[in-house]
Structure formats: C-alpha cells, structure tokens
C-alpha cells in the first residue's frame, strides 16, 4: 500500500519509479502501488525536470543493453518461435490421443457437463468446437517465422490516389465508314498506275 512519505530523488523508491517509467511499462498509479510511493507524489515526479533527467539516464542504459537482449538476435527469435510452435503441436497431439474417436485433428476444444450423484461423477453431455484461437496462434507463429527469414510477402491490391478504389475503364473505339474504307485501302495490294496489281516485276526488253 502506498505511503504518505515523499523521499528524495536518490532514494531507492524514486530510483525504481524512474526505471519503471523509463521502460514505459507502468502507469503512475501502478508505479505508486509497486514502489510504495504516494500516488499524488508520483504525479508530481513525472513532471519534475530532475526526475525526468533520471528517467532519460535509465532510457540510455536500456538502449545500451538492447543489443545484448535475447530477442535482439534473429536466431534466438526463431528458436523461441520454434519452441512455441512445438508446444502448439504437442497440445494438438494430446487432444488427438484423448478424443481420437471424434476427430483426426487437435484443433478442437471439448466442454463437458458433469453431474454428481451418489458420490460419483457422470458426464451428461459433451460439446466439441473448433479452436479458432489455437488455429490463429499457429498461423501467426508461422507468419512471424517467415518474416524473420525474409520469406513473407504481403498481398497488395492496386489502389488509386490516397488508397481509394481503383476504377479501370475500358476504352472502345468505333470505326466510321470512312475509317473502314481507309483501312481496306491500306491493306489492299499495291497497285500500278494502270490499275493492275504491282507484282514487283518490271519488263526489261526481252525479259521480265
């Protein structure tokens, strides 16, 4: 329980409060509860320049330690993801062993209603349901592992300016009668001045 005392900035309680505040894991009310400081005093501390300077000092120390953290290493993260996924698989296997008569998959949950009579328990109903939470957790774990390995690509849809829906308009051109005649003339064989088709051969006296 929080006390009414208001120790100085060098006290262990205030030092702990500064560390918790630097980690951004706790609200002032929770800091007061965990450190034993008065809640009103904590509210004064978080706007006190000297206390905030102490918080910044802790933040720098946290940043310096970050590269050494277990999760800062990609191999460690993959190792942790693999362990997590293995636990999901074991859970499925355990379910399959218990309820093999019902399903071949472990992605189900079982709820049983039990009544007690004459000192004995009797199951009066069983209800099976798809475990959407486990299914989602397994998919998210696989996705995160793929992201860590650089093998994940998000599907992107084409969009217009500002992310608006992209409208594609088909343009249909209609030919007029003059255009059709012109097109036919362009595709007909070249003609000589006398109206005969031009074969590309010319008469040279006694031979073509």
List pLDDT tens digits, range 97-150.
777 666 556 677 766 676 777 777 776 776 777 788 888 999 999 999 999 999
pLDDT tens, residue by residue, 150-202 = 998 877 666 666 666 666 565 555 655 555 555 555 555 555 555 555 555 44
Supply angle C-alpha 88, 92, 96, rounded to 5.
170
Q: What length is written for the chain? A: 208
Coil/strand/helix, residue 96: helix
pLDDT tens, residue by residue, 39-94 = 999 999 999 999 999 999 998 888 888 777 788 888 889 999 999 999 998 888 88
Higher pLDDT, 203 or 8: 8
Q: Which of 62, 61, 4, 57 is nearest to 32 (CA)?
A: 4
Domain ranges of the chain: 12-68, 74-134
Coil/strand/helix, residue 121: strand
* Token couple for 180: 């059709």
On whether the CB atoms of residues 35 and 17 are closer than 8 A, the answer is yes
Phi/psi-derived region of residue 128, left when phi > 0, alpha when psi is between -120 and 50, beta in every other case: beta
First to last CA, the chain: 118
* Token couple for 119: 């000192």
pLDDT at residue number 2: 46
pTM higher than 0.75 for the full model? no
Partners of 120 in the beta sheet? Answer: 117
**CA-based torsion, 12, 17, 19, 20: positive or negative:** positive
pLDDT at residue number 134: 87
């Amino acid at each position: 329980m929080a006390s009414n005392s208001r120790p100085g900035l060098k006290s262990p309680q205030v030092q702990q409060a500064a560390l918790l505040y630097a980690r951004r894991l706790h609200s002032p009310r929770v800091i007061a509860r965990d450190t034993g400081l008065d809640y009103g005093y904590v509210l004064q501390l978080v706007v006190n320049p000297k206390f905030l300077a102490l918080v910044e000092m802790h933040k720098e120390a946290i940043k310096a330690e970050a590269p050494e953290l277990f999760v800062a290493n990609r191999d460690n993260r993959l190792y942790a993801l693999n362990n997590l996924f293995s636990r999901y698989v074991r859970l499925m296997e355990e379910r399959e062993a218990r309820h093999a008569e019902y399903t071949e998959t472990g992605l189900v949950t079982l709820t049983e209603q039990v009544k007690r009579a004459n000192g004995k328990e009797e199951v009066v109903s069983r209800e099976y349901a798809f475990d959407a939470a486990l299914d989602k957790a397994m998919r998210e774990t696989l996705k995160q592992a793929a992201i860590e390995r650089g093998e994940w690509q998000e599907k992107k849809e084409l969009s217009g300016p500002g992310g608006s829906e992209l409208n594609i308009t088909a343009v249909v051109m209609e030919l007029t009668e003059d255009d059709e005649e012109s097109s036919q003339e362009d595709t007909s064989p070249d003609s000589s001045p006398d109206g005969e088709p031009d074969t590309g051969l010319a008469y040279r006296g006694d031979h073509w």
